[in-house]
A = this chain, B = another copy of it.
Amino acid sequence: MQPPYDLVIANGRLSADCALGYVAIQGGLVAALGPMAEMPAGAVIIDAAGCLVMPGFVNCHNHAAMTLFRGLADDLPLMQWLTDHVFPAEARFVSPEMVYWCSKLAAAEMLLSGTTTVADGYFYEEQAAQAFADAGIRAVAAQGVIDFPAPGVADPAENINVARRFVTAWQGKSPLVTPAIFCHSPYTCRRETLVAAKQAAQEAGVPLFLHVAETAGEVAESRKQVGRTPMGYLHELGILDRDTVCVHGVWLSEADMDILAASGSPVVVCPESNMKLAAGIAPLPELLERGIGVGIGTDGCASNNNLDFLGEVARCALLHKGTRLDPTVLPAARLLTLAAEDGAACLGFGGQLGRLAPGYFADLIIVDLAHPRLTPFYGLATIIYAGAASQVRDVIVGGQVVVRERRCLTLDLAEVQARVREMAEQVKAGGGAPFPIAMETRNAGDEGDGVIEKGISAGPSRENPPA
């Protein structure tokens, strides 16, 4: 790669040491970077004076289309939240059109707040994948698999086939989208389904995601049903390896963490979702101590209720410091690598994504340091502890400028919002035709013997034990 480059960012403080420098981009990759005195010629120059240039955030868990249900019901016991609000709304309103527009809204929210890669899981995932490709956000888009009738998968016996077809259709289709499979959980998928999903993912060379050990109730139920923790059960099935991503991991035993460390399976923690729904607190420092791969995810907007990744990271840090009475836990520098490089490795992009370094994807954000909340600016910790999503000025994904001066260049935001608001009006009115679908099931914590489910679901999963 020789100058002139496709794009050069000039005069920014580069995140490695906050010194002024340039970043040259070519072919979607960071080609070179260095001090301003050595800046090469570039066809296009973005002036980043007064700004920090850093890797974009990697949001390792989302159900993007659930923006439609943001704030539909909050502060409720899980069962009431689900049965009275989320289930009926999802049963009526999940459609290909809904997944496209609501995922696109999520993409806009993520890009504008500095997220350049998202791992998503939902149904009609081809619509989500298309929305991500159109919006210009890098995505690992995973088709949901569950042993209930689901949107676009009326017959659960077809769930693996649908997922395979999705993966085949999207492999190589967009440079930004990696297809994958999201097996909902060990308590909503039978043993055969879990194994077949892993096999399908393995054959295609794509990641498999699962929700695992989110609530105490889920673990208790698993012990009752299969005599093992969810992690122990997945290990027994032989489906844990570097390409199987376990989402949540709130309730993990020492033995569970040994399994994770030995298998190489990464864990994605979702602190805000887990706090808001009162699932608990994942043992993030212990996971890191054991060298287990960790990424951070926002989860979907029904349970967070935003996709502000910087806020997620800061809350994650404060939560662990505060509950452990130790201010040294999760220092800012570690949080910054968790937010990008570690997350990238979880998603299979190790060595390619999440660093401001030559040869890495040019997935970068330019953060405006001019705001009072970033004044003074002694160093990078201020981004974590005082920064705000709104200070993300420009966003570049794969060398393409997708946000410039806080405006999304890749989509018509007014149109996207208008489409989602129209759907929200219908949700408020409670209309639409009910559809018997199932997704996002979740065990109860201390909610008695009922099985709590988050998101689309046809009924209690205990009627469909995992084995």
Binding site for B on A (CB under 8 A): 67-68, 70-72, 74-78, 81, 105, 108-109, 112-113, 216, 271-272, 274-281, 301, 304-308, 311, 315, 317-319, 321-332, 370, 372-373, 375-379, 381-382, 385-386, 388-390, 413, 416-417, 420-421, 423-424, 427-428, 445-446
Contacts and interface: CB of A to CB of B under 8 A. Distances in A.
A236 to B, nearest CB: 28
A304 B72 CA distance: 31
A390 to B, nearest CB: 3
A307 to B, nearest CB: 7
Given A375-B420, A424-B378, A281 B315 contact: no
Nearest to A111: B372
A71 B382 contact: yes
Contact of A71 (B81, B319, B379): B379
A328 B76 contact: yes
B386 A324 contact: no
A80 to B, nearest CB: 9
A276 B71 contact: no
Nearest to A384: B74
Given A381-B71, A381-B75, A325 B278 contact: yes
B327 A75 contact: yes
B421 A373 contact: no
Nearest to A425: B376
Given A272-B318, A276-B385, A389-B388, A306 B75 contact: no
Nearest to A423: B376
Contact of A381 (B67, B74, B78): B74
A306 to B, nearest CB: 4
Nearest to A330: B75
Contacts of A373: 109, 113, 306-308, 389
B372 A108 contact: yes
Nearest to A408: B372
Copies of this chain, whole number: 2
A431 to B, nearest CB: 15
A216 B325 CA distance: 10
B327 A375 contact: no
* A-B pairs, 9 with minimum CB distance: A275-B322, A390-B390, A376-B424, A75-B331, A71-B382, A275-B318, A109-B372, A306-B386, A305-B385
B74 A332 contact: yes
14 contacts: A68-B376, A75-B330, A105-B375, A108-B372, A109-B373, A112-B372, A113-B373, A276-B317, A279-B325, A280-B325, A304-B386, A311-B311, A376-B423, A388-B389
A67 B382 CA distance: 12
A379 to B, nearest CB: 6
Contacts of A271: 322
Contact of A390 (B275, B386, B388): B388
Contacts of A377: 71, 424
Contact of A385 (B112, B306, B385): B306
A74 B331 contact: yes
B376 A81 contact: no
Contacts of A330: 75
Given A275-B318, A328-B77, A372-B413, A305 B71 contact: no
Interface hub of A68, A307, A382 (most chain B Cβ within 10 A): A382
Nearest to A389: B388
Nearest to A428: B378
Contacts of A379: 71
Nearest to A377: B71
Contact of A318 (B68, B276, B446): B276
A122 to B, nearest CB: 17
Given A305-B385, A376-B421, 17 more contacts: A70-B386, A74-B331, A75-B327, A75-B328, A75-B332, A76-B328, A77-B327, A81-B327, A272-B318, A278-B321, A278-B324, A278-B325, A278-B326, A319-B322, A325-B446, A375-B421, A388-B388
